[in-house]
Structure 1
Amino acid sequence: MNENLYFCSLKADTVSEITRVLKTFIGYLKRPDLYPELGRKILKNTINRNNAFKGKEKTNSWAASKAVSQEEAIHKLFEVNSESFNHEFQDVLKQAGEKEKECPIKMGGAGALELIYYACEFSNAQHVVETGVAYGWSSLAALLSLRKRNGTLYSSDMPYLGQNGDQYVGYVVPENLKANWKLFRFADKESLPKIFAETSGFDVVHYDSDKSYDGRIWAYQELYRNLRKGGVFMSDDIGDNSAYQDFCEKNKINTTVVEFEGKYVGVFIK
């Protein structure tokens, strides 16, 4: 009986995954502006599939040897104490948490919010660019700082084609912060050129989108090129592959590595 239940559950999971893939594919077909990304995804999941985790073991060992806590990184890089963040924004963070719980679509978690906020404070940010939005936690952290200077956050985020989740992107961001936010709903290779055409010389860049090695290397180069000297560069989930380590070593960058909830975040000042 238990074995039958197991196979029924397995079959249901398989059907659910096939349904999701079909919904995603049909979603792409309805959006000609996303055809370039569809082609890249097909290549990434077939010919270039092995590149996704290239150098992962090497980088995890490297990251573990350098890792510090989020609090240590903020103190080291920005020379501030991060304890006041949760107290100062207690109400807005609580409301955002409640919004996440009520959201019917499951997306990514909150991330290192204090690191993002204090990077914006340190750089006196007017222009910030991020890739990857999901619920909008990182967007919220950046906007809490940017609103003080009437700055602008430029965000790149792919539509959630397989989940009917477009309406929930940025769900935790309060309405009173959205005046300082420009959201570009394309893949990075389409969004970033549009963003950089509007403005350049960004104060903070935050990468949290395409997890593949090739996708990261391309985006890191573009983001770094458009980051002003003295600006802050951040990338989430750098342990997925060796793209971040390789990028830093190639450009002779001395990066700080932050261990956060079992993953690694890379951050440095240009």
Structure 2
Amino acid sequence: MSEINRVLKTFLGYLKRPDLYPELGRKIIKNTVNRGNAFKGKDKTNSWASERSVSQTEAVSRLFGLDISEFRNGYADVLKTAAQREQDCPVKMGGPGALELIYYACEFTQAKNVVETGVAYGWSSLASLLSLVKRNGILYSSDMPYLAQDGDQYVGYVVPDNLKRSWKLFRFADKESLPKIFAENSVFDVLHYDSDKSYNGRMWAYEALYRHLKKGGVFISDDIGDNSAYQDFCEKNNIDTTVVEYEGKYIGVFIK
């Protein structure tokens, strides 16, 4: 699909969904007036992150006192099936990230309520749910519809049916989904951010999510090297964060 066709299909998709008009307005502003904010402070934060980054294994050990090797061994069949489903999926979305970090954050907190932004195939959802199901917990997920491609039916595609009873999926932009989620549950054990990559979008969501994270809860944000939002947020709130380097990108994680 050409870029022009993709943009046109996305715009037409928005027009068919009045409930998404607020996000359409924000997208227009983000890509015109605030276009420069997408990469604000990127060089500063990449330098800051590279100086302090550790491996996922070290981060899980340092923060949670746990060994990550059990995850791949214990869930080998589940992960193999999920990888095959991703391979067979006709629509391409984001692949798996630091699954052990998410899973062991849930194990460390003995999580019963987790919120994530950004789903795609559902790899991070799968990692959370594998822990949550042990305690009859609930994963609340926010994910925008895929308006540029016919991908909605494949959102969460790698999540097996037996885990979906513990999952509530909200198909709106974060500014609409998160208030709906917080109305259902106000305090969370783990937060995982992986949606709007813009500086302004991150800063809004970080503040909103942080207010609903319990003391002793775990906050995780993917792709913090895109701009300086995560670094600025941590410095503003005097947060001592761990930075994980994973497959050439940086993830921020801290315990509140």
| TM-score (ref. length: structure 2) | 0.99
C-alpha separation in 1, matches of 2:245 and 2:61: 15
Gaps of 5+ in 1: 1-12
Q: Percent identity at matched positions?
A: 77
Residue equivalent to 1:135: 121
Matched, 1:251 2:240: no
| 4+ long deviations beyond 3 Å | none
Q: Please give the secondary structure, in 1, of the residue aligned with 2:219.
A: strand
Larger Rg belongs to: 1
* Distance in structure 1 (CA, Å) of the matches to 2:67 and 2:220: 19
TM-score normalised over the length of structure 1 = 0.94
Identify the residue that residue 203 of structure 2 maps to in structure 1.
Answer: 217
Out of 59, 64, 76, the position equivalent to 2:50 is: 64
1:80 is displaced (CA, Å) by 0.7
How many residues align structurally?
A: 256
Q: Secondary structure at the match of 2:190?
A: strand
1:126 aligns with 2:112: yes
Give the match for residue 215 of structure 2.
Answer: 229
Q: Which residue pairs with 2:28 in the alignment?
A: 42
Residue in 2 that maps onto 1:162 = 148
CA distance in 2, matches of 1:38, 1:170: 24
Q: CA deviation at 1:200?
A: 1.1
Secondary structure of 1:229's aligned partner: strand
The Cα RMSD (Å) is 0.5
Shift of 1:151: 0.1
Report the Cα distance in structure 2 between the residues aligned to 1:43 and 1:168, rounded to whole angstroms.
29
- Structure 2 counterpart of 1:255, which letter? T
Q: Does 1:201 align with 2:187?
A: yes
Distance 2:102 2:137 in 1: 15
Instruction: State the alpha-carbon separation in 2 of the partners of residues 162 and 258 from structure 1.
Output: 31
Task: Indicate whether 1:28 and 2:14 are aligned.
Answer: yes
Q: Which residue does the alignment assign to 1:185? A: 171
Q: Of 55, 64, 71, which aligns to 1:78? A: 64
Structure 2: 5+ residue runs without aligned partners? none
Q: Deviation digits for residues 26-80 of structure 1, max 9, x if unmatched? A: 0000000000000000000000000000000000000000000000000000001
Please name the residue that 1:149 is paired with.
135
